[in-house]
A = this chain, B = another copy of it.
Amino acid sequence: MALTVGVLGGGQLARMMIPAAVALGIELRVLAESEGESARLATTSVGDTRDPDVLLAFARDVDAITFDHEHVPQEALAALVDAGIAVRPGPAALAHAQDKSLMRARLSDLGVPVPDWRPVTDAGDLAAFLGDHGGRAVLKTARGGYDGKGVRVVSDPAEAEDWLASGQPLLVEELVGFRRELAQSVARRPSGGIVAWPLVESVQRRGVCAEVIAPAPSSSGRLADEASAIAHTIAERLDVTGVLAVELFETDDGRLLVNELAMRPHNTGHWTIDGATTSQFEQHLRAVLDLPLGSTDPHREWAVMVNVLGGPPEGTVADRYPRALTAHPAVKVHEYGKAPRPGRKVGHVTAIGDDLDSVVRQARDAAALLGAE
């Protein structure tokens, strides 16, 4: 009987678990929200991942349930746990990736550095915070945000009228002055044992991760140690199982502050598929099955990942292969099988090597030839 993992959600993260599952002989079963999603090759069911009955039927006979996204409600997860199914990460841990206020409060309690913040229930809360923080701040919905959605820079409560009126939980954070954004990924298995990949730099454009450099330039020593310590603390104290990605600000004065958490493979770790001994996708499967974790050593000094964004409607990524693959025979291409709407992440490329300038140039140029940019 093969080891079997059920994945809730059928996007590109589930899709990129397929090669690792094929290699290790793990049976991957994906519950997708609709037909034809990115992970369609491994899709064994289509249904609503918020419906406990759908989840219970899907989760029968799997060794572990894990996630392509964090949008599965706690009540539905509780039903799985009550039925004796290994949900990894567990609902209590995952709650911190689902609710930014809960995450901020817990990390503050643990002494993990975060931006100054507070929950917002009305315009008065927001006005008070703005008054204390130079008149501008970042307002966020506590739930459901990603890729720049659910985030708004405001300088007046009037700019938040719609969100305040909607009654959804909100929080406000100081506008952090930062040099750059970093990300630290680790993996933890239920029986203990954590491994960390190198600290990386994540370059955002319009609120979306555009490019990742591994390792983050000039990040040896104190910075890498601090980032690793933060990720270890979070993984252990929140009892995270599987991959944990911690997005960080490196502030203008050289401190690290936690921005976001993801408890699954993350865009900032895609470089590991082609650049590290064990990819984040293989590691996630090993971790959720409580198997020994693999080496995170990089193959070469540098790896650079650039996202490919959907472009003009004429043509797919594959239509651009002849030109892009001719120009860049050493760049690794990942196409997600998604309709190429403008601005949508439809794939990524990774280049590795020992000369950073050359690696950056190859990856950027290949992504530009394949996508909209």
| A-to-B contact residues, CB < 8 Å | 2-3, 15-16, 18-19, 22-26, 41-42, 273, 277-278, 286, 291-295, 297, 299-300, 316-318, 321-322, 325-326, 329-330, 332-337, 347
Contact = CB atoms under 8 A, between A and B. Distances in A.
B299 A329 contact: no
A304 to B, nearest CB: 15
Given A297-B330, A330-B297, A16 B22 contact: yes
Copy tally for this chain in the complex stands at 2
B291 A329 contact: no
B24 A15 contact: no
B23 A330 contact: no
Contacts of A322: 291-292
25 contacts: A2-B316, A15-B22, A16-B22, A18-B41, A19-B22, A19-B23, A23-B273, A23-B334, A24-B318, A24-B321, A24-B333, A24-B334, A24-B335, A25-B335, A26-B318, A41-B42, A277-B332, A292-B322, A293-B329, A294-B329, A294-B330, A295-B330, A297-B330, A299-B299, A299-B300
Contacts of A329: 278, 292-295
Given A286-B325, A318-B3, A332 B299 contact: no
Given A294-B325, A325-B294, A318 B18 contact: no
Q: Which of A25, A41, A294 has the most CB of B within 10 A?
A: A25
Contacts of A330: 277, 294-295, 297
Given A277-B330, A291-B322, 7 more contacts: A2-B318, A2-B337, A18-B41, A23-B334, A292-B325, A293-B329, A297-B330
B291 A25 contact: no
B291 A321 contact: yes
A115 to B, nearest CB: 36
Contacts of A295: 329-330
A332 to B, nearest CB: 7
A155 B359 CA distance: 59
A334 to B, nearest CB: 5
Contacts of A25: 317-318, 335-337, 347
Contacts of A42: 41
A273 B332 CA distance: 13
Contacts of A278: 329
The 5 closest A-B pairs by CB, nearest first: A25-B335, A19-B19, A292-B325, A295-B330, A292-B326
Nearest to A334: B23
Contacts of A41: 18, 22, 41-42
A317 B16 CA distance: 23
A22 B295 CA distance: 23
Contacts of A337: 2, 25
A18 to B, nearest CB: 5
A7 to B, nearest CB: 14
Given A2-B337, A41-B42, A325-B286, A332 B292 contact: no
Contacts of A23: 19, 273, 332-335
